[in-house]
Amino acid sequence: MAKVLLGVTGSVAAVKTPALYAELLRLGHDVKIAPTQAALAFFDPGCLQSETLAHWGEPLEVRGQSTVYLDSDEWPENGLFQVGAPVMHIELRKWADLLLIAPLDANTLAKLALGLCDNLLTCVYRAWDLSRPVVLAPAMNTMMWEHPATARHLGQLLEDFGGSRSLPRLNAEVLCDTINSLCAQLHVVEPVSKRLACGDEGVGGLASVEEIAAVVSEIIGG
């Protein structure tokens, strides 16, 4: 069993968060969730209770004292920050064995590549111990996935995790394969081709819940 921090970003595929959460629990992992504000447009954290999760399979007990951590949890409820008080993005980084961001939208991918940390999730990523694994499952419109910026940002992550950027002009799909073959602690679960929520057809759909959870288990087990 691993402690998995599930980051959720503002892709329509965030509607699958309850199913992914339930599947990770079913496989025996302890899971906490850090959604961005935009992600909350697509799922209700209140639906993550055990009685709702029973819909996805056997009844599951939600482990731990708290499951969902919001941007507002990063800051004191009243008054100024007190020196010595817990810093939420550091506490979550210390707790987790693996960081999974699924879905990873284009906006957050850009933030990770550029080192921006303007919300709880990106602060966790920026403070992450790179000796521990990170799994990314992108989901975005096909034109966004095929945009040159996506390959550029994936190339930056490849470099950050110790890979080489000596192969310029690679497309996003080839870069995903390169990351998965060269980076011991970074894995990208590639998006799939399907009819997207916007009506377009092409690559950009979130990989299946089962595939993402299986990758997590394989990496932790390995």
What residues are annotated to the active site? Answer: 198
CB 138 within 8 A of CB 109: yes
Report the side by side order of strands in the sheet with 30-35: 30-35, 3-8, 98-104, 134-138, 186-188
What are the backbone dihedrals phi and psi of residue 117, each rounded to the nearest 5 degrees, phi first? -145, 80
Q: Which residues pair with 104 in a beta bridge?
A: 138
3 state DSSP class of 62? coil
Residue 57 falls in which region: left (phi positive, over 0), alpha (psi -120 to 50) or beta: left
What are the backbone dihedrals phi and psi of residue 104, each rounded to the nearest 5 degrees, phi first? -105, 110
